[in-house]
């Protein structure tokens, strides 16, 4: 059995002058599908500046980006209970709401029932997209090229079409292969 590791990434502790995620009062206004837990990429990746690949751990080495296990969440949230970030400004209602989400996560861990996330970015079965090649070409900060500014999204939605024409345009601009069998096999 793997033991729980408490490891807060360094970025999370960097102070001052950084983005503050907004307080969301009406989730009905947000773009994108509602997720079983109101996980906020804008707080984690934006305000706390946790690198994308802290959770999506295999994007640089594998075709698959990796969906973080609940254990990864608990790595922080075993101690981080939420509701204390600067942006809340003593808004107790909002703080409570955020704590409730983290509580939901802990409950899921206790019950060994991982949340069933709604998938946002999906490709049809006949397309191969190697994440690692794109990270290698554009660097670890390049996720937003395709996924949009996730660091500013309280709820993630699909920004780009992920259609073939959109893929090919980028391949043309960057003078890389447009051969069909690079992606289709």
Partner 1 sequence: MTDAIDRRRFLKVLGVTGTGAAALSACGIGPEPTEKLIPYLIQPEDQIPGIATYYATTCRECAAGCGIQVRVREGRAVKLEGNPESPINRGRLCARGQAATQGLYNPDRITSPLVRNASGVFEAIDWDGAIPQLGAKVREASGRGTVFLTGAEASSFGDLVGEWMAQVGGRRLSYEPFAFEALRAGNRLAFGTGTVPSYDFANARYLLSFGADLLDTWLSPVEFQNGFARAHAFDAGRPASMAKFVYVGPRMSLTGMNADEWVATRPGTEGALSLAMAQVIVSQRLAPLPGDVGRLAELLGRHTPRAVAAAIGVEREAIVRLAREFANSRGGLAVAGGMAAQYPNGAEIVAAVNILNYVVGAVGTRVKFGADLGVGETNTFADLAALTADMAAGRVAVLLVHGANPAHSLPGAFQQALGKVGFKVSFSSYMDETAAACDLILPDHHPLEQWADSRPRAGVYALQQPVVQPVFDTRPTGEVILRLAGRSGGGTFKDYVQGKWRELHRRFGAGKSFEQFWFDALQQGGLYGDAPARAVRLANGIDTAFSRVAPPADAESETGGEVDQTVVVFPHPVLHDGRGANKPWLQELPDPVSKIAWHSWVEVHPDTAAKWGVAAGDFLLLKSSFGAQKFPAWITSSVRPDVLAVPTGQGHTAFGRYAKDRSANAFELLGVQANSYGGRNFSVRATATKTGEHRRLVTTEGSPRERGEGTVEVLSLARARSLRPGDAPFHHAETPEYAAEAVEWWAERQHEKAELGDYRGEQPRWGLAVDLSKCTGCSACVTACYAENNIATAGEELMERGREMSWIRIERYWLSDERGAPYGAVSSPMMCQQCGNAPCEPVCPVYAAYHTPDGLNAQVYNRCVGTRYCSNNCPYKVRYFNWYNYAERGGEWEAWPEPLSMLLNPDVTVREKGVMEKCTFCVQRIRGAQNQARLQDRNVRDGEIVPACAQSCPSEAIVFGDLNDRRSEVSRLAGNPRGYHVLAGLNTKPAVTYLARVVAAEAPSHG
CA distances from 128 to 63, 69, 103, 177, 178 (A): 8, 23, 37, 14, 14
Q: Least distance to partner 1 from the beta carbon of 115, Å?
A: 7
Using CB under 8 A as the binding rule, whether residue 92 contacts partner 1 is answered as no
Using CB under 8 A as the binding rule, whether residue 163 contacts partner 1 is answered as yes
Longest alpha-carbon distance in the chain: 56
Give me 150's structure tokens.
Answer: 């996730």
Among 14, 25, 84, 117, binds partner 1 (CB under 8 A): 117
Piece of the chain touching partner 1 by CB under 8 A; list 20-28, 46-54, 81-89, 111-119: 111-119
Piece of the chain touching partner 1 by CB under 8 A; list 43-51, 77-85, 91-99, 113-121: 113-121
Contact 49, 18 (CB under 8 A): yes
The residue (of 85 and 121) whose beta carbon lies closer to partner 1 is 121
Q: Least distance to partner 1 from the beta carbon of 77, Å?
A: 14
Listed as own residue / partner, the contacts of 83-86 with beta carbons closer than 8 Å and 24 or more positions apart are 85/20, 85/21, 85/43, 85/47, 86/20
Using CB under 8 A as the binding rule, whether residue 124 contacts partner 1 is answered as yes
Q: Least distance to partner 1 from the beta carbon of 144, Å?
A: 18
Using CB under 8 A as the binding rule, whether residue 62 contacts partner 1 is answered as yes
Cβ-in-10-Å burial (0-12, 13-18, 19+) of 31 comes to: exposed
Distance CA 87, CA 23 (A): 7
Q: Least distance to partner 1 from the beta carbon of 55, Å?
A: 10
Distance CA 130, CA 45 (A): 23
Q: Least distance to partner 1 from the beta carbon of 22, Å?
A: 25
Q: Which residues of the shown chain bind partner 1 in the complex (CB under 8 A)?
A: 1-2, 33, 57-58, 61-72, 109, 112, 114-128, 130-133, 136, 158, 161-164, 177-182, 184-185
């Amino acid at each position: 059995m793997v033991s729980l590791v408490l490891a807060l990434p360094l970025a999370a502790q960097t102070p001052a002058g950084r983005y503050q995620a907004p307080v969301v009062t009406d989730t009905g206004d947000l773009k994108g599908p509602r997720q079983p837990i109101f996980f906020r990429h804008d707080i984690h990746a934006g305000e706390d500046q946790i690198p994308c690949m802290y959770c999506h751990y295999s994007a640089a080495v594998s075709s698959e980006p990796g969906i973080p296990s609940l254990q990864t969440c608990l790595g922080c949230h075993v101690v981080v209970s939420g509701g204390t970030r600067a942006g809340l400004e003593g808004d107790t209602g909002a703080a409570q709401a955020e704590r409730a989400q983290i509580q939901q996560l802990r409950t899921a861990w206790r019950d060994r029932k991982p949340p069933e996330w709604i998938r946002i970015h999906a490709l049809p079965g006949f397309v191969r997209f190697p994440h690692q090649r794109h990270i290698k070409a554009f660097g670890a900060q390049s996720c937003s090229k395709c996924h949009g500014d996730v660091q500013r999204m309280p709820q993630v939605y699909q920004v780009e079409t992920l259609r073939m024409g959109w893929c090919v345009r980028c391949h043309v601009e960057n003078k890389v292969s447009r051969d069909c069998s690079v992606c289709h096999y």
